[in-house]
Structure 1
Amino acid sequence: MMGLPPKRGTRRRASRSAALSAAVLALVTALGAGVPAGAVSATAPGAPGISSAWTTGAKRGVGTSTTLESKVWHTLGQGILNEVYYPRLDVPNVQDMQYVVSDGRSFTELERDATTSRILLPDSRSLRYRQVNTDRDGRYRITKTYITDPRRSVLLVRTRFEVLEGGPLRLYALYNPSLNGSGMGDSGATSGGTLVASDGEVASALAASNGFSAATSGYSGTSSDGYRDLEADHRLDNRYDRAGETGNLVQTARVPVETDTTFTLALGFGEDRGAAKTAAHGALASGYGAARHEYDAGWHRYLASIDPVPRSVASRGLITQYNVAAMTLKSQEDKTYRGAFVASTSIPWGGAKNADSCCTGGYHLVWSRDLYHTATAAMALGDRAAANRALDYLLNVQWREDGSFPQNTWLDGEPHWPSLQLDEVAYPIVLAQQLGRTGDAEWAKLRKSADFIVENGPATPQERWEEESGYSPSTIAAEIAGLVTAADIARQHGDRQAARRYLATADEWQRKVADWTFTTTGPHGDGEYYQRVDDDGDPNNGHQLCLNNGGGCHDERAVVDAGFLELVRLGVKPADDPTVLDSLPETDDRLRVRTPNGPGWYRYNHDGYGEAAGGEPYTGTGIGRLWPLLTGERGEYEIASGDSAGTHLETMARMANEGYLIPEQVWDRPSENGFVFGEGTGSATPLAWSMSQFVQLANNMDAGRNLETPDVVARRYTD
């Protein structure tokens, strides 16, 4: 089920720069000062260059081929290409790649900084994005269309460069690799007119269909950095055939252009430079047109294979949004470890994340909880094969011998963050029961998971927001659903003793969840509502809750979230349960914000996981912003209550960016600091959970009920 085994040692290898002292780094500029203007030298000076970083988590486009042969994924943001993943979705290899424009005399500028950018989807049934970047001074326009070659691990960038005024102008490709998960271990060279680079067992090759008229490899921030060279006098004076020492490599190449020129860049990957170069030139030889046709056809076939678009979507003109959600979810699956859908092909606030050493986890990891939501969305789409692959991954890769699941893992199952969240132990049981995967092999593992919940619940070391321990309504809801579905599987296997044990535990927890988490002495509203989490199961003792993201310490009764709605979604409590109804006013009063795009909700009050007050990236403290997936969860509650969720579906669609990607967080106040009220922040876009919630809500609206509610749980407690 897992495909090829991972190459060991990649993730945990020490950065080659880790031992560099501050004194050595201070010498970078001096080391790069020895080559006279106009010289061509074999070896670039200035190693290792300045420190490296990743890029913003706010992606406006993602893409990959539907084929398994092409093991490369790309993301787009700020008008340029940024992280590229190869050969697996947990290995980022590129900080960014963009064009530099100069007249050779008076100006040199990065397209990211000097242009206004639009992103388009030329074919609404394919993940083929186009960026149109127009110079703010009206001198040029750059149009780039991105695909991956379905037959090779190659990214193709079809580019049209137009001089709109003045000229002639010069165009350079500026490539900043961060191969093998880090930015300080790369070396590079020019090989037969192609820029090649490598770090360990990952190599890249950059070539152009019309060739490069000049190329150089150097170290970022030093005199051998091609962009710094261009900045100095608007000419690429110093060219280096080789950057042999490892460091923060940057590669620059001049592309021959005239007034209106169309060409293709090929960025190929392989296990070594020769393989990467062969792949890049093979893609160019086959031609962009043929690759684009095959790329689009793959996505067309996928959309044709799933269920028709729901009426709730078609009637609101949201067909493209729905199709992009479906395709994006498919794009988040690895091609070696099948069923491993990552939470997001992004690194939240990546521009503030040091990339010198391997490996920044970002969100390109697998959480059992997020994977459950992706799998249930796949079921709603009619892609049961994807849901079954997800369950296979959960049971064959992530499952531990004691029945538990780690907080999250790399694709090979190695834990990244080592904590335990009991809802993540329960969800695979729920998923298996809903898929009808209840055979002997599955039950042998799921029984251990159910036993683990009984023996370790209901309090959890971390709840679903991954920060606090204690009694959590959302976690307890998942535990109860897991135990009731486990009892159903146990009955199918004739194990009545286990079934009775699971049901007795679930029933007790269902009766007591309010006793443990519903305060009657709270400081908000009438004082009666569900807390976010309680440390000891006494919701009226007012113990201090110190938030583990810089949100400060508070009376635990004062911190609320909407996690209690999971009791309704999972069939543990009816929508009109008095404790649920009593909690809605306090939750909305503290957490709801009416944005220009519709209502949004915070995770909880006092949340510190978001940009700082001035808009700076989150680095340990900040202000939590609004989460679109919570708008979707509220919509599911409205469905359970017999009301309309149309406003919530439309709000989620409006909160998507122009690439139709729904973010993790949106800005929560009037537009400022470069953010727009009700639109995405620098956290994680797309978030698979957000895209899944949109798909689920749309299908639930058509069904008139929440399809992911386990029938066996609802029959026991709410029917």
Structure 2
Amino acid sequence: MAAPVPLAGVARAESAGAGTAAKPSGEAPGGPGTSAAFAPADKTGFGTSRTKESPVWFTLQGGRMSETYYPDLSTPASRQTQLVITDGKTFVERLSDGEARTEPCLQGGAPGYRLTSRGTGWSAVTRYVTDPERASVLIDVEVRSETGAPLQVFVLHDPSLSGEGNDDSAFPQDGTLVAKDKHAASALAAQDGFTESTVGYLDVNDGWTQLSENNGRLKHHYATAGPGNVVQVGRLRLDGCTRTRQTVVLGFGEKAAEAVRTAKRSLRRGFDAAAGAYERGWLEYLGGLPKAPGCLRTPSDQALYTASVVMLAASEDKLNPGAFIASPSMPWAFGTDRGIAPETGSYHLVWARDLYHIGTGLLAAGDRAAADRAMDHLLRSQLPDGHWSQNHKVDGTPFWTNIQLDETSTPMLLAWMLDRHDAKTLRHLRRGADFILKFKSEEGYKAPFSPQERWEEQSGYSPSTIASAIAALVCLADLMRRGGQGDDAAKYLEAADKWQESLDGWTVSTNGPHSSEPYYLRLTKDGKPNAGTEYELGNNTDGKVDQRSVVDAGFLELVRLGIKPADDPVIRNSLKIVDREISVDTPSGRHWYRYSGDGYGEQPNGEPWNVNRPEIKTTYGRAWPIFSGERGEYELLCGDRHSAQGRLRDIAATAGETLMLPEQVWDDRPPVPEVRSGKGTASATPLAWTHAQYLRLAWSLERGTPVEYPTVVAERYLHG
């Protein structure tokens, strides 16, 4: 790809008087339009300011600005905002139709981005930041004609306010293009105004449909539309020749007037001033943290470390401190299929398990205040019966309501890492522990049987879930001792000891198909690992499987949490099996699948995962970089620093062009070689868990042992 168009020395757009504006009128017919769908999840940009005054976040994907979030991180507010460029005769192209490269554009790792695009006789550079003083995204737009012929440049905006894109209304107000629903409003504004504009219904008469069907011309200029799936288009006062640069702002508010006011104030401030304040805020935050660990010797490694800190920090909601989401994305059917996702979700929600990883990652990086806020959020969002929901919105409202015992255990582990033994914290944690001790499933099994294990698809006795429950109860007992409540801790230690003695009997097979020696199963449905109990894997996998045939690496939690020694013979034999059965070597190193036969990933042709369409027969779960981090922590506990350092490099090798780490990477199965093995799929990217794992492993290498290792557990079971 050619070098990006330089920003310096480009002529500024002339005043708003250039050209005569075509005034829109009338109401668009044909509503409500095609049902709303969101952009793919493989983001190349994710940004927000460090300020509470600016509760807005943006993402980039596929050469455009994809979802924005307002007023919180559980609420998408738009689906896309991008340029449409035409000569009015022979071509009509969106930024997402041409070549595009995304790269950071600010100093020190601040999450501002430059998107360089090329098409038929044109080039464009767009830069993105948010205004630290208000809820708006600013886009610096620069377009050049490479033939000398004048261009027409439109900005296309697809609102989806309050997470629902099918009930918006749109109209012009005070020179801006406004969209609103019952709860929020947005205003699209341009520095020099719009020469013409229209609003319509998606795939019926929206601006892009008009332009693409009429050789780059708007046949109709509708003023209003909705409620429905509305799309707005406005033509900028740019021609790519004498007028090449413009600022566009997307402002938000609870009401239309507030959104308009916000957009206009950001326009008056200007892109450069806003970007400077945005950059300074992030540099101040990063400057207050320790330098990257010494094991990160190269500039690229240090840049990925900073990007990981920034990604986690940006994932915190501003209205609900400590509510960190899993990913600012909606992978596959979660963004397109209302049968699977009637509401938007589920990644831009809070999961107690992911929050534990995020909290310990930021704690390792030196941001204890963020980890404490995460802990406080967990205390606020605990349900009345003591457990934590499968996931919840950033305000604490439960979203999916299945029970996963590890998500009620991890708050105790995080509290131990933070030495939180005050009376309030202990009161909440004891309620969680009591819920676990009293838990009984619908099938009649008692804890540590869990209705869902950490992959959220099966009930049973899971080594990883049992490990978290044992460690959590021991950590809670230790916190109670420190908080003067040690006399009440006996029942928690008694349960932990009983489960530690029983876990192999629940989860280790001695007659399974993978080895004549004992090995851990992914889970058992009945606590009988030598029984050929069958269950359905799901995720487009036909038929039932023998529980003895399905393995994962979740048993490594037993080592990481101090319950089993690293050299335990069953652990070692199980590692040989998972390396043989569920690992894959890629150009980005060795990575692992979640478990045998996993189908949570793309179709063989690369199309999205879905389990709601009968014509989709096969999907492949791909490899997850987080497992390289888990393996690296295990290797450190074995004293093998060299191998652990290699795992850190393997995670780093999966990063995309803007240093975002994915949920999954392509393996050696189709659609390889059309896609690059070892690089991110269209799974959730960036995934906070992956970035947190990278940070933790980096600091674990620096200190020689896993930074979140609960020594009190190891003292009880390994050194007692």
TM-score scaled by length of structure 2: 0.91
Alignment correspondent of 1:402: 385
2:495 is aligned with 1:505: yes
Single out whichever of 364-373 and 497-506 deviates more from structure 2: 497-506
Report if the CA contact (8 A) 1:332-1:342 is conserved.
yes
| Equivalent residue in structure 2 for 1:463, among 453, 459, 478 | 453
Give the aligned residue type for 2:653: R
Matches within 5 A, 1:513-552: 513-526=503-516, 528-552=518-542
| Equivalent residue in structure 1 for 2:359, among 357, 371, 375 | 375
Report if the CA contact (8 A) 1:183-1:355 is conserved.
no
Alignment correspondent of 2:625: 628
Report if the CA contact (8 A) 1:57-1:350 is conserved.
no
| Equivalent residue in structure 1 for 2:207, among 219, 226, 233 | 226
In structure 2, distance between residues paired with 1:674 and 1:301: 42
Secondary structure of the residue aligned to 2:177 is strand
Alignment correspondent of 2:10: none
Alignment correspondent of 1:577: 568
Alignment correspondent of 2:374: 390
Report if the CA contact (8 A) 1:636-1:706 is conserved.
yes
In structure 2, distance between residues paired with 1:279 and 1:236: 30
In structure 2, distance between residues paired with 1:238 and 1:609: 44
Report if the CA contact (8 A) 1:478-1:566 is conserved.
yes
Q: CA deviation at 1:49?
A: 1.2
| Equivalent residue in structure 1 for 2:232, among 244, 251, 262 | 251
| Equivalent residue in structure 2 for 1:90, among 74, 95, 112 | 74
In structure 1, distance between residues paired with 2:676 and 2:105: 22
2:82 is aligned with 1:110: no
Report if the CA contact (8 A) 2:47-2:111 is conserved.
yes
Report if the CA contact (8 A) 1:41-1:238 is conserved.
no
RMSD over aligned Cα atoms: 1.8
Report if the CA contact (8 A) 2:200-2:222 is conserved.
no
Identical positions, percent? 43
Alignment correspondent of 2:693: 693
Classify 1:151/1:350 alpha carbon distance in 2 versus 1 (closer, same or farther; 3 Å): farther
Q: CA deviation at 1:351?
A: 8.2
Give the aligned residue type for 2:295: S
Matches within 5 A, 1:277-426: 277-315=260-298, 317-349=300-332, 353-354=336-337, 359-396=343-380, 398-426=381-409
Structure 1: gaps (5+ residues):
1-37
Q: CA deviation at 1:166?
A: 4.5
Q: CA deviation at 1:550?
A: 2.7
In structure 2, distance between residues paired with 1:686 and 1:73: 14
Alignment correspondent of 1:74: 58
Report if the CA contact (8 A) 2:602-2:609 is conserved.
yes
Secondary structure of the residue aligned to 1:265 is strand
Q: CA deviation at 1:507?
A: 1.4
Question: Which digits, 9 at most, give the CA deviation of each residue in 1:99-134, with x for residues without a partner?
Answer: 111111111122211334343444342111111112
Q: CA deviation at 1:262?
A: 1.4
Give the aligned residue type for 2:526: D
Single out whichever of 109-118 and 555-564 deviates more from structure 2: 109-118
Classify 1:578/1:309 alpha carbon distance in 2 versus 1 (closer, same or farther; 3 Å): same
Question: Which digits, 9 at most, give the CA deviation of each residue in 1:357-377, with x for residues without a partner?
Answer: 962213011100000110001
Alignment correspondent of 1:188: 170
| Equivalent residue in structure 2 for 1:589, among 577, 580, 592 | 580
Report if the CA contact (8 A) 2:102-2:113 is conserved.
no
Question: Which digits, 9 at most, give the CA deviation of each residue in 1:479-508, with x for residues without a partner?
Answer: 011010111122234444532221121112
Report if the CA contact (8 A) 1:182-1:358 is conserved.
no
Give the aligned residue type for 1:365: L
2:598 is aligned with 1:607: yes
Classify 1:40/1:86 alpha carbon distance in 2 versus 1 (closer, same or farther; 3 Å): closer
Question: Which digits, 9 at most, give the CA deviation of each residue in 1:258-311, with x for residues without a partner?
Answer: 335111110000011111111001001011111111000011011111111001
Secondary structure of the residue aligned to 1:672 is coil
Report if the CA contact (8 A) 1:50-1:221 is conserved.
yes
In structure 2, distance between residues paired with 1:149 and 1:471: 49
Secondary structure of the residue aligned to 2:538 is coil
Classify 1:177/1:288 alpha carbon distance in 2 versus 1 (closer, same or farther; 3 Å): same
Alignment correspondent of 1:197: 179
Report if the CA contact (8 A) 2:551-2:578 is conserved.
yes
In structure 2, distance between residues paired with 1:163 and 1:672: 37
Q: CA deviation at 1:236?
A: 3.0
Report if the CA contact (8 A) 2:55-2:134 is conserved.
yes
Alignment correspondent of 2:555: 564
| Equivalent residue in structure 2 for 1:46, among 12, 17, 30 | 30
Question: Which digits, 9 at most, give the CA deviation of each residue in 1:548-576, with x for residues without a partner?
Answer: 32334200010000000001111111111
Report if the CA contact (8 A) 1:190-1:217 is conserved.
no
Secondary structure of the residue aligned to 1:547 is strand
TM-score scaled by length of structure 1: 0.92
Alignment correspondent of 2:473: 483
Give the aligned residue type for 1:622: T
Structure 2: gaps (5+ residues):
1-21, 440-446, 612-617
Give the aligned residue type for 2:626: L
Secondary structure of the residue aligned to 2:708 is coil
Q: CA deviation at 1:400?
A: 1.9
Report if the CA contact (8 A) 2:73-2:325 is conserved.
yes
Report if the CA contact (8 A) 2:172-2:224 is conserved.
no
Question: Which digits, 9 at most, give the CA deviation of each residue in 1:497-547, with x for residues without a partner?
Answer: 532221121112112211110111111143531000001111000100211
In structure 2, distance between residues paired with 1:493 and 1:469: 35
Q: CA deviation at 1:402?
A: 2.1
